[in-house]
Amino acid sequence: MRTPVSFQSDRPLLARLLLLSWVIIILLGTTLPWHTIHPQPQLQWWRIDWSPFHSGALRPRVIFDVAVNVVLYLPFGYLCRRWVGQRDGAMTFVYVIGMAAALSCCTEFVQIFNPVRFPAMADVVMNVTGALLGAWAVLPEQKGRSAILPFGTNPAIVDS
């Protein structure tokens, strides 16, 4: 008789702790400084940049901001996919995208109250893109090992 296995038992504790740690890093990195938030906060909807990349200008500051947002969420996507698991296939990506979008929207919402931060929808788009790229880096485990292959490498050819 087989013993039932808990749904959480195959999720490594290290991956969960790393994911939690990275979420804390994201929260701190995207909401600090807190001392500038007014004691009686007022929503500043007028400060939100609702249309991502509307200017079309590739200024160095814009490129840097895009790169930081993508790189910040790469580990989140990787660890999130490890935590969710790989047996769900395409639904795993939906979970990762949903969690990244929720976390990113929450941090951008907090920035509405902070006069030194600039909330933007472009940040949400780039954060989700970074998480998706991080999740994509985790290939399904094949033959008891996990492989992260270079871009463009076909896993079927590697395992042959």
What is the domain count for the chain?
Answer: 1
What are the helix (H) ranges across 4-154? 13-31, 60-84, 90-111, 121-136
**Is the separation of the CB atoms in 108 and 69 below 8 Å?**
no
**86 assigned to some structural domain:** yes
pLDDT in tens, 29-50: 988 888 887 767 677 777 777 7
**66 assigned to some structural domain:** yes
pLDDT in tens, 8-30: 455 567 878 899 999 999 999 98
CA 84 distance to own-chain centroid: 13
**Is the separation of the CB atoms in 66 and 122 below 8 Å?**
yes
Note down the domain range covering 59.
Answer: 53-138
Q: Say what the pTM is.
A: 0.74
**26 assigned to some structural domain:** no
Taking CA atoms, 63 is separated from 31, 66, 86, 97, 104, in Å, by 21, 5, 32, 22, 19
**130 assigned to some structural domain:** yes
Q: What per-residue confidence (pLDDT) applies to 57?
A: 67
Residue 152 has pLDDT above 70, yes or no: no
